[in-house]
């Protein structure tokens, strides 16, 4: 198992290992969505101020995944995206 604390978002994750994201927000509600390399939404959860949601994901295939905000949350919404790589641990 691999925990991702609220204030940390690594850019690399191992394949075939359970990942638990701690998801929250500092300002408004957001949607936290994880997309596979083909662009399919594979996991999602709400990010809310003063509350922590836990999202469990196991990446079964190596590749480049994308985390995006799923809910319009303000003028910075379009920039809320991060690419992560999944593969053999370094």
CATH code of the domain in which 41 resides = 2.60.40.420
Q: What is the pLDDT of residue 78?
A: 79
User: How many domains, in total, are found in the chain?
Assistant: 1
- Which tokens in the block code for residue 22? 């701690």
Write the Ramachandran bin of 63: left for phi over 0, alpha for psi from -120 to 50, otherwise beta.
left
Q: What is the pLDDT of residue 35?
A: 96
- The rounded distance, in Å, linking the Cα atoms of 70 and 11 is 19
Each residue's pLDDT tens digit, 9-32: 778 999 999 999 999 888 888 899
Predicted TM-score (pTM) above 0.85:
no
65: domain range?
A: 2-87
E strands in 1-90: 2-4, 12-14, 18-23, 30-35, 41-47, 53-58, 63-69, 81-87
């Amino acid at each position: 198992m691999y925990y991702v604390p609220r204030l940390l978002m690594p850019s690399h994750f191992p394949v075939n290992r359970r990942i638990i994201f701690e998801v929250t927000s500092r300002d408004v509600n957001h949607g936290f969505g994880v997309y596979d390399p083909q662009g399919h939404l594979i996991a999602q959860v709400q990010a809310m101020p003063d509350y922590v949601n836990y999202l469990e994901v196991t990446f079964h295939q190596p590749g480049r995944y994308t985390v995006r905000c799923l809910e319009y949350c303000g003028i910075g919404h379009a920039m809320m995206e991060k690419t992560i790589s999944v593969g053999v641990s370094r």
